A and B are shown apart, each in its own frame.
Chain A
Amino acid sequence: MHHIPQTLDEALEILNNRHYQVIAGGTDIMVQYRSWSETLPKLNKPLLFVSQIPELNFINESDEFIEIGACTTYEHLLNSPIIPKILKDTIIDIAAPGIRYVGTIGGNIANASPAADGVCTLIALDALVEIVSSETFRIEKICDFITGVKTTSLKPNELIRSIRIPNMFHEHARFYKIGGRKADAISKVALASVCNVSEGRITKWRLAFGAVGPKVVSLPLIDEKMVGKTVEELKETIESIQATYAPFIKPIDDQRSTAVYRKEVALNLIKGFIESL
């Protein structure tokens, strides 16, 4: 039986009893389980609908975090004054308005596609996910929560409750989406890049690459090496910076692009970002 719970507690209680396929906006699920037109989707588990749950639809701001309910739609985020510009820039490049009115930020994370643009930017912003079950509560970095292609650490009785983005101002924050066309395209490669500079020196540096590995590629240890350098130093050493990231960018050939193209463009985008500083 499918369920449409009205509260978070009710949803978590239902999840304790048996396995469900959780569905929020359905923009991934309905594609994955599509079947012959006018027939029902080929589901292997009953559905638990969550997007109507009020406790999963909110945007809050504290000094520490911007917190977004898991079922907040892209369109809702676009219209919020609290949401960082880089996330809005990312959303504008996702799919088309029809999808953005139903697709949710939590669904984008739970689907764990390596080409998910939203995930890419959230990881560059060091975002966290808050995961709840009827008994437990845990917080995990998104880059750890997603464990591989379409896999996460989410247990069958858990739900993503919210996403927490550290409430920081970023002087330079850019999302680069390279898709087959300008709208309604899945990324061939993407880069979310964030940087702060104080008195000419880098104080924060984060890069997250989409569609170049089994999950979004985030390399905090390499990122940290940029901190303390001057912008001029970065600009003078673009090639060596590219070289430090290069071994970790391991894309594949598929129907959308080639591994060599993805790798080269990912590295070129680092150059593009540094030159824009």
Chain B
Amino acid sequence: MTDITNSIPKLDAKDKLSGQALYVSDIQIDGMIYAKTVRSQIVKGKIINIDIPFLPEGYFTVSRQDVMHKNVVKIIFEDMPYFATDEIHHLNEPIMLVVGPDKSVIQSIVDQIKIEYVTEIGVFDDRDAPVAYSFKKGNPKKVFSKATQVIEMNYQTGLQEQAYIEPQGFVAYEEGEKVTLIGSIQCPYYVKNAIIDALGCEPNQVRVIQAAVGGAFGGKEEYPSLIACQLAVALKKVHKPIKLIFEREEDILSTTKRHPSTIHLKAALNELNDVVGLSADIRIDGGAYIGLSSVVLSRAMIAVSGAYTIENIQVEGKVLRTNTVPNGAFRGFGAPQMIFAIEMFMHHIAKETNQDAFAFRMRHLARQGDKTSTSGVFRDPIILEDLIRVATEKSKYHSKALAYSQTGIHKGIGMSFFLHGCGFTGSGESTHINAKVKLFKTEAGLVKILVAAVDMGQGIRTTLPKIVSSILEIPIERCIFDYPDTDFVPDSGPTVASRTIMIVGGLVARAAKELKETWIENKEQSVIKQYVQPDYIKWNEKKFKGDAYPAYSWGVNVVEVAVDPLTYQTKILNVVSVYDVGKEIDERIILGQADGGIVQGIAYGYLENMVAVDGKIKQKNLTDYIIPTALDVSKMSTYIIDNPYPLGPYGAKGAGELTLIGGAPAVALAIEMAVNKKITKIPVTPEYLMELMHHDD
């Protein structure tokens, strides 16, 4: 058998390259009409009157008056109505849909709708914190009281927009009592369950089908449920197929983004200048509705000590509620904010105490058997030192760091160490998700992989069939993975949290093994496998105690930059990344994830700048919200070191999010070296650098 890592052509590449893949906006249904969203024009206040013009025949408005059951989007925290109530909490909040056959007529109706408001002053600070968590490890109080030195720093991170190529959208239609939605989504069952709640109907009355997805990055995790609920309600009113596709500006101005954060860190040092205690105060801006912000906060809090072991930890975390567009899932899910802060902090502690930063950080690295931040155990081998050795050699980190430390060169090299917990946080996999997968073998010997996992570019349409074909030793052409359709696939959970290969792929691999053992030629067979939490994983959700994740992926990024002293612009000169993702199921797919992830991560650190001023997002399109082009990227070299995880398929762990997480601290540390100023905020824009360079430390 050949090594599963050897790349094969992506199974959906031909469809996508030839333009044959059907995205939501490509779908046409006879008699289909269109919908457009009417949105609030104020940041906070009350609606006192809505004046709707005369509607021609065939045109309708759909609003909260039409809601049949519940006007709330089923997410973790159920506080977001899908049609605004009388109370407006953010700009561009959806108030109603206008539906009808002709888009220009719909547009003119939308333009004529007049809404009167009583405006209130928005909240944009930390006064409203509906979610507050805290946990500790060891005895932080004691070590802080005995510390020889305490160092404190404050870090800030900004908004980040997912900027998927394809905006949000659905096509919805009815078959009798049943509503069907085809969408650009990550989580078919999230959408299905949200609609069941919205309509108060039976599960068999809702069907959700995934269309080809043009990128998601977390942006299509929870947000699509809101549009789906609106359309389900609209279907029940107008009984015609409806298409709703967001425009780019509408998408940027109204959908969820990465949470801005403020992270205050405090370290207790002993007489050897080791960090013996860490205290963190983490605040993330959830925007107007909490949604899944509390889970984002949990992941940020658990990542508090990054790739290091610190024996005594105190963490406080808060989700702030402000009158801005709600923030939500984004590749990394709270970890990029925290890893930026802790990586900068470790570096800054070393500087403050006149220690070599590299040696200082190496001394604190997490090792197998150490206790995690939540007092769980790193059970599996940790090969971080190997990753660092390869990264430093390939990037010539030490010699370059020495050369660039002289003034007047304006170049820098930065290195980040990081980890990412694979799968849902805590016991989420067993208590909330309980994934189920099914393999169905036809008489003819075709094996259908029935899971709810979505290929949004990360290659699952190729890697899952590859696993099955490899275990069953049958040609990959006989392993069928169609777009998920909730009428046919069991709920294998959402396509999030770097869980798909490890958890869903692991279950698929076990099902394939069983199918192989029980294989009978010319006979229909099915195998169902359900997630079982390993016995040794113990998690106390209230106390944040125990094993927060079943496994961890690890990474090292090295970024080299030059900063122009006249324009303060940063140029990326070289990028080297080394990862432990267990085992690559397909090398080219992992390299694709690595290239895309690091570019998105580095850009988060220095380029992508989104600012909301008094609840209003200033960069409303891709002209003003700058994401990198190929010209902004340097050579990128990625190295993968195998470290198989026993419960993952062929040893595979999560990879999708990991590759984004270390980019921001690596580029920020490189810029810090180039300008010899402490960086405490991302993105490190030229405007911020100019300010920094005018200040004497």
Contacts and interface: CB of A to CB of B under 8 A. Distances in A.
Contacts of A221: none
A255 B609 CA distance: 9
A153 B371 CA distance: 73
Contacts of B609: 180
B247 A37 contact: yes
Interface string B356-384: 00000000000000000000000000000
Given A39-B104, A184-B629, A185-B626, A255 B618 contact: yes
B624 A256 contact: yes
Interface string B598-615: 000000000101010000
B631 A183 contact: yes
Nearest to A275: B566
In this complex, the interface size class of chain A, counting residues with CB under 8 Å from chain B, is: 20 to 34
How many residues of B sit at the interface, in one of the four size bands? 20 to 34
Interface in B295-317: none
Interface stretch (A50-58, A100-108, A119-127, A261-269): A261-269
B401 interface: no
A271 B566 contact: yes
B483 interface: no
B114 interface: no
Contact of B245 (A37, A265, A268, A269): A37
Contacts, number: 65
A258 B691 CA distance: 11
Contact of A255 (B36, B619, B631, B632): B619
A182 interface: yes
Interface in A176-229: 178, 180-186
A181 B629 contact: yes
Given A265-B567, A272-B566, A181 B687 contact: no
B475 interface: no
A268 B630 CA distance: 27
A266 to B, nearest CB: 10
A140 to B, nearest CB: 30
Contacts of B630: 183
B568 A265 contact: yes
A118 B414 CA distance: 38
Contacts of B636: none
B445 interface: no
Contacts of B107: 35-36, 39
Nearest to B103: A39
Contact of B567 (A35, A178, A183, A256): A178
B214 interface: no
Given A36-B107, A181-B607, A257 B626 contact: no
Contacts of B566: 265, 268-269, 271-272
B147 interface: no
Contact of B103 (A38, A260, A264, A271): A38
Given A36-B103, A186-B623, A181 B628 contact: yes
Contacts of A184: 629
B686 A261 contact: yes
B687 to A, nearest CB: 4
B480 to A, nearest CB: 34
Contacts of A256: 624
Contact of A181 (B103, B618, B632): B632
A268 B567 contact: yes
Main secondary structure of the interface of B (DSSP, over half): loop
B47 interface: no
A258 B687 CA distance: 7
A1 interface: no
A184 B631 CA distance: 10
Contacts of A264: 690
Nearest to A188: B686
Given A255-B618, A261-B686, A180 B607 contact: yes
Contacts of A39: 103-104, 107
A183 B627 CA distance: 11
Residue of A37, A186, A254 with highest tally of chain B CB at under 10 A:
A37
Contacts of B624: 186, 255-256
A38 B630 CA distance: 30
A242 to B, nearest CB: 12
B154 interface: no
Interface string B438-470: 000000000000000000000000000000000
A40 B103 CA distance: 10
Interface string B184-199: 0000000000000000
Chain A CB within 10 Å — which of B103, B107, B566, B620 has the most? B566
A194 B624 CA distance: 30
A194 to B, nearest CB: 19
Interface in B560-614: 566-569, 607, 609, 611
A36 B631 contact: no
A108 to B, nearest CB: 16
Contacts of A182: 629, 631-632
Nearest to B110: A36
Interface in B97-150: 103-104, 107
A181 B245 CA distance: 29
Contacts of B103: 36, 38-39
A186 B36 CA distance: 30
Interface in A4-39: 35-39
A117 to B, nearest CB: 15
Contacts of B686: 178, 257, 261, 265
Contacts of A40: 104
Interface in A147-162: none
A36 B36 contact: yes
Contacts of B687: 257-258, 260-261
A269 B569 CA distance: 13
Among A39, A254, A257, A272, the one with the most B-chain Cβ atoms within 10 Å of its Cβ is: A39
A181 B690 contact: no
Residue of B104, B627, B630 ringed by the most chain A CB atoms within 10 A: B104
Q: Which of A38, A181, A269 has the most CB of B within 10 A?
A: A181
A268 B693 CA distance: 14
6 contacts: A37-B247, A40-B104, A181-B626, A182-B632, A256-B624, A260-B687
Interface of A: 35-40, 96, 178, 180-186, 254-258, 260-261, 264-265, 268-269, 271-272
Q: Which 9 pairs from chain A and chain B are nearest by CB?
A: A180-B626, A182-B631, A255-B618, A268-B566, A261-B687, A183-B631, A255-B624, A183-B629, A39-B103
Interface of B: 36, 103-104, 107, 245, 247, 566-569, 607, 609, 611, 618-620, 623-624, 626-632, 686-687, 690
Given A37-B247, A39-B104, A181-B607, 16 more contacts: A36-B36, A36-B247, A39-B107, A40-B104, A180-B607, A180-B609, A181-B631, A183-B629, A183-B632, A186-B623, A186-B624, A255-B618, A265-B567, A265-B686, A269-B567, A272-B566
